[in-house]
Amino acid sequence: MQKLITEIAKKEIEVIAGESNMEEYKSYPLKLPYLAIFIGMKGTAVVNVNFKNHLLKPNDILVLSEDSITVFARTSKDFRLFYCLIDKNLASEIAYNLPNHLFTFLWESPLCVPERRETPLLEMWRGQTLHIIHQCTTYRHIMLRNHLQNFFLKIAEKMPPNGFVKHEYSRKEKLCWRFWDLVGKHCKVHRDVAFYARELCITPFYLSQITKDFMNDSPKGLIDRQVILEMKAMLASSDISIKEMAEQLHFEDTSYMCRYFKRHIGIPLTEYRK
């Protein structure tokens, strides 16, 4: 699995899914991709996530991020799980239409236990995931994005209103979530870190410290990621011209916007639209 995670980190593969007994990864911190889904299939495992133990049973779902400190402490002899490892770019697209408080909830409660009547749906979801990855080509990316969005929206449907935060968050955590909300509201107009720091009444340096601690990225990296998602959404769902797009996103000119897009995605904007 560690080799697979390395391939994801090198941007060679956007998602990998399969099965494992996790035997060779027990008792030391697991290196994770940007987003990981583990679903129990057989047996049980005691998994320590951020210093809290969770019992993973058949059909239980564990949702983890790359900054989750995760150790498989013990596993039964017959233990087996399904894993789905997702890279940063795809995870960002999946998260684009999801409620922000879902991530607060999953950080607090990474273990999700479906109702018994929902287990056949979960088995079908696993099968569909593997089918899309291994059998689909032309529309695989879109299918995976939508398929995984539906998975997380189902979790969002089941969680308490507003994520039900169980403990009082520190000032740094609150600032980090406020920053992310501001980015969602203002990224079409403001791409500079200074704007968000002023809105939060902190320095850009301090903002950089807290986003690296809690979101594992720089403020600029998070802003740019959201702008790119806005651009992808525009390209995918409308016939907007490049000039109109630049105006709506407050770029100085179309050539700069196209360079910006290619720098982050690796291909020209017009080629991506095709």
- Domain limits of the chain? 2-163, 172-273
C-alpha 201/C-alpha 211 separation (Å) is 15
Those residues with Cβ within 8 angstroms of residue 56's Cβ, 6 or more apart along the chain or in another chain: 38, 40, 44, 45, 46, 47, 62, 81, 111
Residue 168 has a pLDDT of 65
What CATH number matches the domain at 172-273, 3.40.50.300, 3.40.1260.10, 3.30.450.40, 1.10.10.60? 1.10.10.60
pLDDT tens, position by position, 7-40:
555 556 789 999 999 988 887 778 888 899 999 9
Say yes or no to pLDDT of 161 above 80.
Answer: no
pLDDT tens, position by position, 94-118:
988 888 788 878 888 999 999 999 9
Those residues with Cβ within 8 angstroms of residue 94's Cβ, 6 or more apart along the chain or in another chain: 35, 86, 145, 148, 149, 152
Tokens 């509201």, located at residue: 185
Using alpha carbons only, what angle is made at residue 222 by residues 4 and 34, rounded to the nearest 5 degrees?
20
What CATH number matches the domain at 2-163, 2.60.120.280, 3.40.50.2300, 3.40.50.720, 3.10.20.30? 2.60.120.280
- Strands of 35-42's sheet in order across: 15-20, 80-86, 35-42, 61-65, 111-112
Average pLDDT score, the chain: 88
Say yes or no to pLDDT of 41 above 70.
Answer: yes
Asked which of 8-17, 56-65, 170-179, 188-197 is least confident by mean pLDDT, the reply is: 8-17
pLDDT tens, position by position, 56-103:
999 999 999 988 888 899 999 999 999 999 998 899 999 888 887 888
C-alpha 191/C-alpha 109 separation (Å) is 32
